Amino acid sequence: MALDVEKINEANIKLESQLVKDRDDWKTKIKDLIVKSKNYNDLAECQVMMLSYRQILLDKVSEFKSTIYKRNAAWDKYWKELYRNYSLNYDIKLTNGEKNAFIKADLAPLKTQINLIESHVDYYDQCIRTLDNMAFAIRNRIQLEDNM
């Protein structure tokens, strides 16, 4: 199966816009939760939402990591095919370094896709960390209010 670079480039453009929208959505959700946590009467709702958001993010991280594993498998498959092609079917004899450079260039769109997804997983991890810190802040705020 040949690598369809055009199709992957189109998918990358679509993926990038979806990931930007998703980051904006999560940024808004977390900011709203932070604003809401300033009011003591809303802390219970904040705890519930925070835990819900955390679970949603964990599920999304799992889905994206699964996608990364699949893309890496495709990368390996295409790398093998291209290496064989450059070794046996190319008009001139290439060194290993040249073959690797050509293959990297050929697989750049797929690598871009993997990098986009990995970057988004990192973003989700940071959101989860923020929510975890928020949980401690809410707990401490409740303890402070109870002690007053």
Cα distance between residue 69 and residue 106, in whole Å: 20
Residue 91, helix vs strand vs coil? coil
**Look-up of token digits 């290993």:** 96
CA-based angle 129:124:74, to the nearest 5? 140
Q: Please, which residues have CB within 8 angstroms of residue 125's CB and are 6 or more apart in sequence?
A: 61
Running along the chain, 148 residues long, what does each successive block of 10 average in pLDDT?
86 97 97 91 92 97 97 96 94 94 96 97 97 91 83
CB 32 within 8 A of CB 88: no
User: Residue 91 corresponds to which tokens in the numbers above?
Assistant: 């008009």
Q: Judge residue 114's burial from the number of C-beta atoms within 10 Å of its C-beta, 0-12 exposed, 13-18 middle, 19 or more buried.
A: middle
User: Residue 10 corresponds to which tokens in the numbers above?
Assistant: 């189109």
Q: For position 146, what pLDDT does the model report?
A: 83
Q: For position 143, what pLDDT does the model report?
A: 86
Q: For position 115, what pLDDT does the model report?
A: 97
CA atoms within 13 A on the CB side of 37: 22
Buried b (16+ CB within 10 A) or exposed e, 27-63: eebbeebeeebeeeeebeebbebbeebbeebeebbee
pTM, whole model, 2 decimals?
A: 0.88
Q: For position 1, what pLDDT does the model report?
A: 60
